[in-house]
Amino acid sequence: MSKGVRPTMTTATHEETLGFQTEVKQLLNLMIHSLYSNREIFLRELISNAADACDKLRYAALDNDALYEGDSELRVEIEHDSDAKTVTIRDNGIGMNRDDVVANLGTIAKSGTAEFLNQLSGEQQKDAKLIGQFGVGFYSGFIVADEITVRTRKAGDAADAGVEWRSKGEGEFVVAELEREKHGTEIILHLKDDASEFADDYRLQSLVRKYSDHIEVPVKMPRTEKATDDEGNEVDGSEVTTWETINEATALWVRPKGEVSDDEYKAFYKHVAHDFSDPLAWSHNKVEGNLEYTSLLYVPGRAPFDLYERDGARGVKLYVQRVFIMDDAEQFLPLYLRFIKGVLDTRDLSLNVSRELLQQDPKVDKIKSALTKRALDMLKKLSKDKEAYQSFWNTFGAVLKEGPAEDFANRDKISGLLRFSSTHTDSATQDQSLADYVERMKEGQDKIYYIVADGFNATKNSPHLEIFRKKGIEVLLLHDRIDEWLMSHLTEFDGKKLVDVAKGDLDLGDVENEEEKKAQEETAKAKEDLVKRVKEALGDEVQEVKVTHRLTDSPACVVLPEHEMGFQMRRIMEAAGQSLPEVKPILELNPEHALVARLEAAGDEGFADLARILLDQAIIAEGGHLDDPAAYVKRLNALLSA
């Protein structure tokens, strides 16, 4: 049993029993009954929360030094009682009042809770790694404890404004008023019978060094020794307790890179990101000169559930001269890099800086520009490891695709990091870069070709690819919802224009010889009468009718004007309630196809219906929607029964 407990005056009164939020009940049930693997993570989460509380007090005290209440040596203390089977984690940080306790310990406030709970499967190893991503680290205490008591008082409040919180994790918790002499928070874990291993000095110390060595706030544990006099002789068998710092207690980012191990970088990431998986990459950099700052940026291995909520929490942890200022300082990285985690420590900002002041400080823009380039360079370096980068792309690729529209200055760097599906592999996996494409371009080819559709199969089987397959020309297959918007801002790469094969006139450049081009002109001239008849039959339903050379197997296809919004983007905009002007497609006919030959041979009766069938089929193949599908079915049935 550890000795030398620092006494705290506590008298709980006026108890009130409250119910947990529904999502907390589900989470607690899972933790208590299912999560047994990697149980030791509870200590890291509780220490991390305690360290954050100390950081917040240090920042608040910049404006009001009295908040320290004469105790400015911020620390986290851990002790245990092996007889009572308890572990206590204590801090002298900012503390909580009653409203804070109910809000923070009775609910899961972070966005994406429903998605988080849907991911929980009961698979111990997988689920354990999710704890902490949703601000639920406190509840991990119930993995090892069958009851938790929290005693806390907010710095600056009166001694009688303390709060006690107790729960057995069974659907409700008790909140009581508390007389508490010291500010800060004390968490007492009443260990389960099968978790008594954690009420042990050596076990606790090893966990602190394993998970929390990098935390700047000292983590202390009591050490009991025999009392001695000045000459080193024992004094009447007396004992004295001292508090020993267990962790390194030095901000990891201020240490030279050569002195920090990979394991330490990984452990620090898990603290900063509240994640249990290792990061894919990191970049540690110190800048001196006109601007002085240190940055430590990480590429996570997994995505948070609010990744696609552009208004969600994001950004780096901001310190000024090693004083914590704020979490999620989003001003230092662009929105398309919102998945990057890390720390920024600078000497060039005021200690009293606020989010509003950050938006007005020109130094912030300079740091943002530098950090953006460093993050992109980190991704470029990661891309040399194909397997690791593919893991990154599968997780964050759709977000990175927002970059070319948002960051013109770094468009070239971003475009080199993009990955797409391609006819080169005919795989839905997006693993082909633009540089890969350029390297494989055919002799005489001067453009990068792509097609956009609603899904991989729609792109892969599009009629527009027929001539490209015949000629052996690679086409990028773009099937993410964001892709058409991306390509409207990414118009060239490595000096080569990017061309949508479903828009405008088809130009294969020098890949086609003069004889082929002359034959196409002769065919178009020979079919002028057919083209005229089809245009008259379809009227205003189409902008134009022409003979095409882009088809080999299909009878017809529709093409949009070069600078017109595509079918996919139109559907997205319309679904969002946008009113868009009508666009009439261009119908292109394959003169070599049997159905077109049948159309040409048809008399006036039935000609218009067959022409409309070809148009409707082409629209469907493009992923478009028919205004009158019943009429199409009726015409098709008539054709089949003729």
**Domains of the chain and CATH, by start:** 10-224 (3.30.565.10), 252-393 (3.30.230.80), 419-502 (3.40.50.11260), 514-641 (1.20.120.790)
Q: What does the pLDDT read at residue 136?
A: 52
pTM of the full structure: 0.73
DSSP, collapsed to helix, strand or coil, labels residue 166 as: strand
C-alpha closest to that of 44 among 144, 125, 169, 152: 144
The single-letter code of the amino acid at 315 is G
Torsional sign, CA 429, 435, 440, 442: positive
C-alpha closest to that of 418 among 440, 441, 436: 436
Q: What does the pLDDT read at residue 11?
A: 55
DSSP 40: T
Using alpha carbons, list the distances in angstroms from residue 319 to 304, 322, 324, 421.
23, 5, 4, 41
List of residues 6+ apart from 34 with CB closer than 8 A: 122, 124, 127
Report the alpha-carbon distance of residue 528 to residue 522 in Å, rounded. 10
Q: What does the pLDDT read at residue 348?
A: 84
Structure tokens at 192: 């389960």
Q: What does the pLDDT read at residue 19?
A: 77
Torsional sign, CA 508, 512, 513, 515: negative
Block mean pLDDT (10 aa), the chain, length 642: 44 75 67 61 86 89 92 95 95 94 69 47 46 57 91 95 90 90 96 94 91 86 79 72 88 90 91 86 92 94 74 80 80 93 88 68 90 97 96 95 94 96 93 96 92 90 92 94 91 94 83 81 90 92 91 92 76 72 87 91 86 91 84 86 75
The single-letter code of the amino acid at 26 is Q
Please calculate the CA angle 204-206-211 and round it to the nearest 5 degrees: 95
Q: What does the pLDDT read at residue 108?
A: 55
Q: How many residues does the chain have?
A: 642
DSSP string, 273-340: HT-SSPPSEEEEEEE-SSS-EEEEEEE-SS--TTTT-TTSS-SEEEEETTEEEEEEEGGGS-GGGTT-
Torsional sign, CA 353, 355, 356, 361: positive
Instruction: Tell me the H-state helices in 401-550.
Output: 403-406, 411-417, 434-440, 456-460, 466-471, 483-487, 514-526, 528-538
Report the alpha-carbon distance of residue 420 to residue 120 in Å, rounded. 31
Q: What does the pLDDT read at residue 125?
A: 41
